[in-house]
């Protein structure tokens, strides 16, 4: 196994020379230590099958959901490319920085993501280090945000960006993952990582309505905090090659999609790893 840390950023490593289908105990333990430390591990040219991707993800915990296509390609081969198309709205919404499933009762732990079909240009995936962002705050701001709590909602984030689906169901939800009818999740802006013991910001596009602030003040504050957090050595964007795979720590890193030409096909595969309910449950769902 060969490990190279990403240059110029506070997280991330590239690992080569291993077969993710056949990890012996020592290699797995070494890999887990790298991931815990670096939060993002990139496996070039891994070519994960459906079973391999899900089996590898299960090494990190139970699945929130198994391998699912993130794609502008329909099952019939049709390309979803119009801005009014609900599939396009979901894809475009993901261009905002976010943690996965903060809008659910239990936040996701991690995700495995792999590339099958990629466009000629665009479509990179970015990650942002929320531990480094917290550490970079001055003492006064660290103290201030440590006492804050905000709601997280997929309805809020998609609605604010103009990407709510077109068809609403009778119960007010939509036929896409995340549009549930549970109570809106409430989370601290600063959370201690259960494995490292280090503090991380939990912010992103789904966060809104900080307790004790009026909505506009909260929105402006969170926008400013997100902008501050996601810059410089705290961000990395990966330009995909076919067959690449990654795993990232959703408790430490935010991520974002980036635009590409929707007239070109793109198909990525996403396996989401469930958070531990003991540490990732929203305050109002415990």
List, edge to edge, every strand of the sheet that includes 13-16.
2-5, 13-16, 40-43, 245-249, 110-117, 267-273, 63-71
Let me know: does 185 contact 103? Beta carbons within 8 Å: yes
* Percent of the chain residues past pLDDT 70, beyond the cut: 100
Q: From the centroid of its chain, how far is CA 7? A: 21
**Which of the four pLDDT bands, split at 50, 70 and 90, describes residue 4?**
very high
Domains and CATH numbers, the chain: 2-275 (3.60.130.10)
Nearest residue to 251 (alpha-carbon basis) of 227, 215, 281:
281
Rounded CA gap, 135 and 217, in Å? 24
Let me know: does 23 contact 32? Beta carbons within 8 Å: no
> What was the pLDDT predicted at 77?
83
76 has a pLDDT exceeding 90: no
Rounded CA gap, 215 and 146, in Å? 19
The DSSP call for residue 126 is E
67 has a pLDDT exceeding 90: yes
Render pLDDT for 28-45 as a digit per residue (tens, 0 to 9).
999 999 999 999 999 999
DSSP string, 79-146: B---TT-HHHHHHHHTTS-B-TTTTSSB---EEEEEEEE--SSB--EEEEEHHHHHHHS-HHHHHHHH
Rounded CA gap, 221 and 217, in Å? 6
Token digits of residue 177: 């993952």
203 has a pLDDT exceeding 90: yes
For range 48-76, the mean pLDDT: 96
For residue 53, report the phi and psi dihedrals to the nearest 5 degrees.
-65, -45
Rounded CA gap, 101 and 114, in Å? 19
> What was the pLDDT predicted at 37?
98
Let me know: does 271 contact 111? Beta carbons within 8 Å: yes
**Which of the four pLDDT bands, split at 50, 70 and 90, describes residue 75?**
confident
> What was the pLDDT predicted at 282?
98
Nearest residue to 201 (alpha-carbon basis) of 281, 131, 266, 103:
131
> What was the pLDDT predicted at 103?
98
Rounded CA gap, 182 and 103, in Å? 10
Least confident of 48-57, 163-172, 198-207, 228-237: 163-172
The DSSP call for residue 138 is -
Render pLDDT for 81-135 as a digit per residue (tens, 0 to 9).
999 999 999 999 999 999 999 999 999 999 999 999 999 999 999 999 999 999 9
Rounded CA gap, 265 and 256, in Å? 19
Q: What is the pTM of this model?
A: 0.97
Render pLDDT for 146-195 as a digit per residue (tens, 0 to 9).
999 999 999 999 999 999 999 999 999 999 999 999 999 999 999 999 99
């Amino acid at each position: 196994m060969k490990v190279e840390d990403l240059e110029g950023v506070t997280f991330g490593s590239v690992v080569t020379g291993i077969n993710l289908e056949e990890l012996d105990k020592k290699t797995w333990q070494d890999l887990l230590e790298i991931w815990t430390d670096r939060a993002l591990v990139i496996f070039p040219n891994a070519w994960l099958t459906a079973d391999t991707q899900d089996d590898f993800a299960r090494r990190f915990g139970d699945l929130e959901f198994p391998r699912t296509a993130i794609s502008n390609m329909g099952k019939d081969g049709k390309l979803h490319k119009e801005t009014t198309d609900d599939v396009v709205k979901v894809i475009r919404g993901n261009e905002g920085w976010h943690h996965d499933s903060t809008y659910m009762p239990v936040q996701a732990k991690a995700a495995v993501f792999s590339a099958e079909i990629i466009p000629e240009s665009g479509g990179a995936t970015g990650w942002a280090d929320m531990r480094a962002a917290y550490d970079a705050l001055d003492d006064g701001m660290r103290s201030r945000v440590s006492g804050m709590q905000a709601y997280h909602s997929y309805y809020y984030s998609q609605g604010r960006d103009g990407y709510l689906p077109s068809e609403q169901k009778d119960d007010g939800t939509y036929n896409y993952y995340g549009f549930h009818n549970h109570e809106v999740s409430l989370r601290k802006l600063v959370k201690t990582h259960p494995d490292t013991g280090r503090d991380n910001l939990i912010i992103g596009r789904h966060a809104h309505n900080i307790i004790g602030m009026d909505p506009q003040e909260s929105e402006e504050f969170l926008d400013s905090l997100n902008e501050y957090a996601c810059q410089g050595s705290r961000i990395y964007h990966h330009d995909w090659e076919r067959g690449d795979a990654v795993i990232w720590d959703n408790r430490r890193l935010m991520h974002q999609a980036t635009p590409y030409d929707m007239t070109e096909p793109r198909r990525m595969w996403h396996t989401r790893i469930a958070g531990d309910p003991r540490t990732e449950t929203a305050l109002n769902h415990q």
